[in-house]
Structure 1
Amino acid sequence: MEILASRVLFRPQDYARSVSFYRDQLGLAVAREYAGGTVFYAGQSLIEIAGHGSPAAGAPPFPGALWLQVRDLAATQDELRSRGVAIAREARREPWGLHEMHVTDPDGVALIFVQVPEDHPLRRDTR
């Protein structure tokens, strides 16, 4: 498996309070905003504060997830299954346009594997 990019994804109890904390209190620059979310620059990484979604039912309390971009989500899902990894949520296209699959690590941390479709805004050159 080849990981192309990653970011820390938080799904806070209070979206506005968390955005204010990262933007106003910590002073992080906004990398991009979308309906229901804000992504901040954090050195060579990104922190995404999402106002959508929620942790899986019954999952231990954990405010975020590890976002891992892959080239081919179906192939990644097959590869992980072949290694005995349980898929918490099958690969599917999300309302925000990304293809996502969820896996949970032994400590309950959500890993979100993502494939960015060719027509998604993340693929556009913004220069």
Structure 2
Amino acid sequence: MEILGSRTILRPGDYDAALRFYGDVLGLAIYREYPGGTVFFAGQSLIEVAAHGNTGRPQHFEGALWLQVRDVYDVEAELVTRGVPIVRGARQEPWGLHELWIADPDGIPIVLVQIPPDHPLRRDTR
């Protein structure tokens, strides 16, 4: 199987609140809009916020969105000024990544990650 692209599709309880959060609060650029949906750029991936198929309640979502940023500490300061509740403050984890945890309006966990230059995820192991 060859994967050509991917995206995460969210069906939030409050579509407008989700659009404000991902577009205005997080500042993600819009990739595409269609009747009942908006798709945002998220680095090399896409996050689609869809009103269609919505039951008025958020779908069950187990796991977290993992979004890499350049400086997680700067992002934390910016989000605090925007009034975004911080679930877990930025810190370096035992596995070497710097992580900050927030949540979207439906409580979906979002891990904002900074990868240090010397971390194995950055090293070419060839």
What's the TM-score once normalised by structure 2's chain length?
Answer: 0.52
- Report the alpha carbon displacement of residue 63 of structure 1 after superposing the two structures with TM: 1.5
Backbone CA RMSD of aligned residues:
2.6
- Report the alpha carbon displacement of residue 96 of structure 1 after superposing the two structures with TM: 1.0
Please name the residue that 2:81 is paired with.
82
More strand by share: 1
Matched residue type, 1:117: P
Q: Which runs of 4 or more aligned residues in structure 1 lie more than 3 Å from their structure 2 counterparts after TM superposition?
A: 1-7
The runs of 5 or more residues in structure 1 that have no matched partner are 8-60
- Report the alpha carbon displacement of residue 4 of structure 1 after superposing the two structures with TM: 4.5
Paired residues, number: 75
The runs of 5 or more residues in structure 2 that have no matched partner are 1-25, 29-41, 47-59
- Report the alpha carbon displacement of residue 106 of structure 1 after superposing the two structures with TM: 1.1
- Report the alpha carbon displacement of residue 62 of structure 1 after superposing the two structures with TM: 3.9
Distance 1:98 1:124 in 2: 14
Please name the residue that 2:111 is paired with.
112
Please name the residue that 1:95 is paired with.
94
Distance 2:93 2:110 in 1: 16
